[in-house]
């Protein structure tokens, strides 16, 4: 049986926090406890008139990739609700192939 994971292309994440909100609602987590957290990286100046700011959704130790939703044939709630469509769920082998030649991506595999 293939192990599934979550691939996040943070280059296009807009920082909308929809994944956080959807996760919190799906799992009824207390305030401050999230299965995924959007982190802000930057801003930092890369030239006189250019700045860099990234948003990186990072699954936390509470993330179980929505085992119950996935068992029903649904996507994890963060993937389903991602407005920028930067998250992919599936077998690690497929996600690893999808990463080839692309930067700004992270692969999450739960313990």
User: How confident is the model over 56-110, as pLDDT tens digits?
Assistant: 999 999 999 999 999 999 999 999 999 999 999 999 999 999 888 777 888 888 7
Burial class from Cβ neighbours inside 10 Å (0-12, 13-18, 19+) for residue 70 reads: middle
The domain of 97 spans 4-108
Residue 110, pLDDT score? 77
pLDDT at 107: 86
pTM of the predicted model as reported, rounded to 2 decimal places: 0.86
In degrees and rounded to multiples of 5, residue 101 shows phi and psi of 75, 5
Q: What is the pLDDT of residues 24-51, one digit of tens each?
A: 999 999 988 999 999 999 999 999 999 9
Report CA 99 to chain centroid distance, whole Å.
14
**DSSP character for 20?**
H
Report the number of secondary-structure helices (H) and strands (E) in the chain. 4, 5
* Among candidate residues 54, 52, 50, 57, the one with its CA nearest the CA of residue 19: 57
For the segment 10-16, the average pLDDT, to the nearest whole number, is 92
* CATH code, domain carrying 35: 3.30.70.20
Q: How many domains does the chain have?
A: 1
């Amino acid at each position: 049986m293939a192990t599934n994971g979550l691939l996040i292309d943070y280059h296009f994440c807009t920082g909308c926090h929809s994944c956080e909100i959807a996760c919190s609602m799906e799992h009824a987590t207390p305030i401050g406890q999230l299965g995924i957290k959007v982190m802000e990286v930057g801003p930092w100046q890369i030239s006189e008139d250019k700045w860099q700011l990234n948003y990186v959704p990072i699954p936390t130790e509470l993330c179980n990739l929505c085992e119950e939703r996935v068992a029903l044939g649904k996507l994890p709630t963060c993937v389903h609700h991602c407005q920028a469509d930067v998250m992919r769920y599936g077998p690690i082998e497929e996600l690893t192939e999808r990463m080839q030649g692309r930067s700004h991506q992270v692969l999450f595999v739960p313990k």
